[in-house]
Each structure stands twice: as structure tokens, then as C-alpha cells.
């Protein structure tokens, strides 16, 4: 394999200490091949015309980081608009929250064309290109239109919904057909793959060939599931850091008379946070033995504040938490502790380990890495219990979690009660089995299996 080129909306310097598992894993392949990571700089240039994008390059070890700026209009239409007000809600099954403004599509196409133009100038013939996520679905098609023949793979980090939901997007035909410009399309789960195949065969007139390859318009593309994992060793090391140990001890001391339930997410409507709080209220109502004991610690990091649906969510959550504390709380017991902030990454393992129950209950999620982090952070001798939404991609792998339906407050309350009373032996058995799966299918497995499949994909797009 020649150089690896990674393209994503935002990039992270893989050598910075704050880099997460994904950045580190991609960084390893980039270092090995002297690769290039390309994306948006994060800067909105005030006086720039649309689609101009000044290119910045810098080195981090053997890796080149190349970024472009966006104009304010491009940022609003491509990023806030088409990516986060059309694709994000629809792909998370929320047609009600989608805003199909035609200006957004123009911005999305313009920025994908800008990325293609800027990237093409940096490419070598034997590069392998790996494009990430919903911001850049048509990027390969734009690169092919400029004459690029390199192998190009795509990985979608969010779910792919059923065909009829995709069909609600006014430009779905153009959007989904652009996937045929890739050699390989990677999705998080088998359910997503089934949705993709169904869409392509019913809506795009594609033929399903052996080896999960789809053919249409003289092009073929392979579609496969590559469930993303975490860097188990890195997260275990993080759990031994002074910050993680200090957090663990402080939280254990602070809540020594309580049973702690932890929710940690980006504040996003896909994460099912209000539904989780309602299930917790149901728990307190139905099972009074939890009074003065069960305490829900919810840490939600600020996210996409400028998009309206997110401000509504914030208000709903503040009202719900306030009402529970008012109705159920006592002078010495606040049932819900809601914190609207990002905690330092090194504190996450300590928080997970100190919690008796990990509540990971999204309404829909591509994978959900918090579920895996929670399991890895546990003490194997006395592990906490993972309560996991069956609608997270992770549920396909983590069958020994307590799987719940986040829309069913009563059912969820029953599962939380079961988690709080689960005998030690059962907790240990479930934890062992979950950990085995998470360690086997870690982020390195994910990266290697995707890149190997991309190398061996023999489709028409790069061979034409």
C-alpha cells in the first residue's frame, strides 16, 4: 500500500495528548505510510468568498495535516445546514427535525467540490483514500469527476436508516448514487448494511452481486459492516492516570451512601437523554427502596448550540431534572445531578468505574463508544452493569448488556432496578463476556479490517 490519505470534516493531531482513540488509531497508519490527513481547519474566514478556502499544511511527525478554511456562508449551509440539519436528523430517524432548505444542498455540494479540488492537488497516484462520515458522502464522486483514480473507501459513523426514510430527502437519488464512486462503503452494523442494500436495490435499481457488492450504472461498490471499537489499552492506561484515580476516589467518597448511575454523552437529541431521565423518575416512583440512594449523574457536553433543536433539548432537560429534584429530593439527597459540560478525557474512566450502572440509552446511534468505555473501566472483581439501548449500533455486539427500549420508561425502570440488584456472579459473567468482545473488536481491528478490505476491493470505480 502507498500512502494513506484520511479525509474528515475535522481532524485531530494524533500526537497531541488529548487525541482520542480514533485519532490515535488513524494516526498510526498515517505515520507508518507517511500519510496525509485533510479536512476543515475549524476556522470561519470572515471576508472570504464561498468555495475559496485557503490551504494550510503542517507536519506532525511523518504525517502531513492539511486544512482549508470555510466562508461563513459555506459553514452555515454545508455544516450547520445540510450535514447537521438534514443528514444528521434523517439518518437518526428524525424526519420531524429535518430542515430541507435548498440553500443547504448548494453549500454541501460547494464544500465537497472545494475539498476535492484542494485535495486533488496533494494526491499521488498510489495513495489510498479513506473518507469519513456524512459531511463528505459525495466527495469520491467529486474526486472522480476531476479524474482521480485512486482507491477510495468511505466509512459512515452514524446509522444508515431504512430506504423509505432516506427517500424522504429531496436529493436522495443523487446523494446515494454518489456512493458508487467509492470502492468500499463501511457501515457500523449489519442492520445498516441491510438498509443500504435495500435502498440500492429498490430505489437506485442496483443489482446485488456476490460478496455484498452492488452494481448500478457501470459501477460497483462493496458494502460491509465494520463496527468501530475503542483503543482498549489506551483507555485502560488512562484509567490508571492520577486524574482518573483521583476522580474515582472523590466520586466514591462523595456518593458513599448512594448507588450511582452514570450517563455521559454529547447533548444531542439522538442520545435519548430526556427519555433516560423519565425512566429514572419511573424508577423512583415504582421502587421506593431507591429513595435517598439511587443518584443519576448526567454529564452532557455542549454540542451544536446554534441549531434550534439543540436549544430546545437543553431547556427540556433542565425542566425535567429540576422537577425530579423538587419532587423527590431531600435536604441531603439530590436524585439527579445534571452537568452541561465536557469533562477532561482522563476523568472519564474514573467516573465510569465509580458508577454502579452505566446508562447508555440512545434513541439511535451509529455505534456509541461510551458503552464500550464503561465496560473497559470497570473493576472485574466488582463490575458495574451496562444498561444499553437496543437502538445503539453497539447492541449488535454487546448482547450481555441489559438491552432496553429507550421509548419504554417502565421497561427501562425495571431493567435499571434489575441492574441495581444484580448478584455479583452475574455481573462478573456479563462483564467478562462484554470485555472479551470489546477487546477483540477494538479500534485497531476496525482500522486494519477496513483497510484490508479496501485494498482487496476490486470494483470498477478505481479500475475504470
* Nearest partner of 450 among 151, 140, 237, 239, judged by Cα: 151
Shortest spacing between CB 267 and ligand ADQ, in angstroms: 8
**Between 188 and 459, whose beta carbon lies closer to ligand ADQ?**
188
User: Which C-beta is closer to ligand ADQ: that of 271 or that of 427?
Assistant: 271
The answer for residues whose C-beta is within 8 angstroms of residue 288's C-beta and 6 or more apart is none
What's the distance, CA 236 to chain centroid?
20
- Core vs surface per residue 134-168: b (16+ CB within 10 A) or e: bbbbbbbbbbbeeebebbbbbbbbbbbbebebbbe
C-alpha cell at 216: 448500478
Contacts 24+ apart (CB under 8 A), 84-89: 84/304, 84/307, 85/307, 86/169, 87/134, 87/135, 87/137, 87/169, 88/134, 88/158, 88/270, 89/309
- As measured in angstroms, the least distance from the Cβ of 266 to ligand ADQ is 5
Residues belonging to the chain:
464
R_g of the chain, CA atoms, integer Å: 23
CA 418 from centre of chain: 28
Rounded to a whole number of angstroms, the minimum distance from the CB of residue 238 to ligand ADQ is 10
CB of 52 to ligand ADQ, least distance (A): 30
Q: Minimum distance between the CB of residue 312 and ligand ADQ, rounded to whole angstroms?
A: 18
Nearest CB to ligand ADQ, comparing residues 114 and 357 = 357
Contact 232, 376 (CB under 8 A): yes
Closer residue to ligand ADQ (CB): 152 or 160: 160
Measured from the CB atom, the residue of 8 and 178 that comes closer to ligand ADQ is: 8
Give the residues lining the site for ligand ADQ (CB under 6 A): 20, 157-158, 228, 264-266, 299-301, 342-343, 348, 365-370, 373
Shortest Cβ distance from residue 162 to ligand ADQ (Å)?
17
* 53 or 161: CB nearest ligand ADQ: 161
**Residue 406 to residue 409: CA distance in whole angstroms:** 7
157 included as an active-site residue: yes
For ligand ADQ, the closer CB: 114 or 386:
386
Cα dist from 47 to 40, 53, 72, 455, whole Å: 17, 11, 8, 42
Q: Which residue among the candidates 13, 99, 157, 292 is catalytic per the annotation?
A: 157
Chain-centre distance for alpha carbon 265: 11
Q: How far is the CB of 88 from ligand ADQ (least distance, A)?
A: 9
Q: Which of 69, 268, 365, 400 is catalytic?
A: 365
Question: Is residue 305 among the annotated active site residues?
Answer: no
* Residues belonging to the active site: 157, 365
Amino acid at each position: 500500500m502507498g500512502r494513506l490519505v484520511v479525509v474528515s470534516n475535522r481532524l485531530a493531531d494524533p500526537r497531541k495528548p488529548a487525541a482520542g482513540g480514533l485519532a490515535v488509531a488513524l494516526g498510526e497508519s498515517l505515520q507508518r505510510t507517511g500519510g496525509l490527513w485533510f479536512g476543515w481547519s475549524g476556522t470561519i474566514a470572515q471576508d472570504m468568498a464561498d468555495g475559496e478556502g485557503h490551504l494550510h499544511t503542517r507536519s506532525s511527525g511523518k504525517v502531513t495535516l492539511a486544512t482549508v478554511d470555510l466562508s461563513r456562508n459555506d459553514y452555515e449551509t454545508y455544516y450547520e445546514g445540510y450535514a447537521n440539519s438534514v443528514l444528521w436528523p434523517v439518518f437518526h430517524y428524525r424526519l420531524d427535525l429535518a430542515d430541507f432548505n435548498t440553500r443547504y444542498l448548494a453549500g454541501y455540494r460547494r464544500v465537497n467540490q472545494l475539498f476535492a479540488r484542494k485535495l486533488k492537488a496533494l494526491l499521488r497516484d498510489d495513495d489510498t483514500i479513506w473518507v469519513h462520515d456524512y459531511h463528505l458522502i459525495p466527495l469520491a464522486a467529486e474526486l472522480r469527476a476531476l479524474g482521480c483514480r485512486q482507491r477510495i473507501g468511505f466509512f459512515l459513523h452514524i446509522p444508515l436508516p431504512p430506504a423509505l426514510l432516506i427517500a424522504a430527502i429531496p436529493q436522495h437519488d443523487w446523494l446515494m448514487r454518489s456512493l458508487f464512486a467509492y470502492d468500499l462503503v463501511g457501515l457500523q452494523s449489519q442492520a445498516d448494511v441491510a438498509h443500504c442494500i435495500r435502498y440500492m436495490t429498490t430505489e437506485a435499481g442496483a443489482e446485488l452481486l456476490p460478496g455484498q457488492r452492488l452494481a448500478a450504472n457501470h459501477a460497483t461498490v462493496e458494502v460491509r459492516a465494520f463496527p468501530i471499537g475503542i483503543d482498549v489499552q489506551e483507555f485502560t492506561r488512562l484509567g490508571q492516570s492520577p486524574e482518573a484515580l483521583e476522580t474515582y476516589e472523590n466520586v466514591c467518597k462523595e456518593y458513599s451512601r448512594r448507588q450511582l448511575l452514570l450517563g455521559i454523552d454529547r447533548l444531542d437529541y439522538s442520545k435519548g437523554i430526556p427519555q433516560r431521565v423519565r425512566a429514572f423518575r419511573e424508577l423512583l416512583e415504582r421502587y421506593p427502596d431507591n429513595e435517598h440512594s439511587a443518584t443519576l449523574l448526567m454529564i452532557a457536553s455542549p454540542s451544536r448550540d446554534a441549531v434550534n433543536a439543540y436549544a430546545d433539548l437543553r431547556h427540556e432537560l433542565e425542566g425535567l431534572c429540576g422537577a425530579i429534584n423538587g419532587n423527590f429530593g431531600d435536604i441531603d439527597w439530590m436524585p439527579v445531578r445534571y452537568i452541561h459540560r465536557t469533562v477532561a478525557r482522563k476523568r472519564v474512566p474514573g467516573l465510569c468505574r465509580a458508577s454502579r450502572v452505566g446508562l447508555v440509552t440512545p434513541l439511535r446511534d451509529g455505534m456509541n463508544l461510551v458503552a464500550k468505555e464503561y465496560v473497559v473501566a470497570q473493576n472485574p472483581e466488582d463490575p458495574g452493569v451496562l444498561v444499553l439501548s437496543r437502538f445503539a449500533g453497539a447492541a449488535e455486539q454487546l448482547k450481555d448488556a441489559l438491552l432496553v427500549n429507550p421509548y419504554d420508561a417502565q421497561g427501562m425502570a425495571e431493567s435499571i432496578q434489575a441492574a441495581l440488584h444484580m448478584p455479583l456472579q452475574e455481573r462478573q459473567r456479563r462483564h467478562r463476556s462484554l470485555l472479551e468482545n470489546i477487546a477483540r473488536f477494538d479500534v485497531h481491528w476496525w482500522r486494519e479490517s477496513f483497510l484490508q478490505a479496501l485494498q482487496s476491493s476490486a470494483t470498477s470505480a478505481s479500475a475504470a
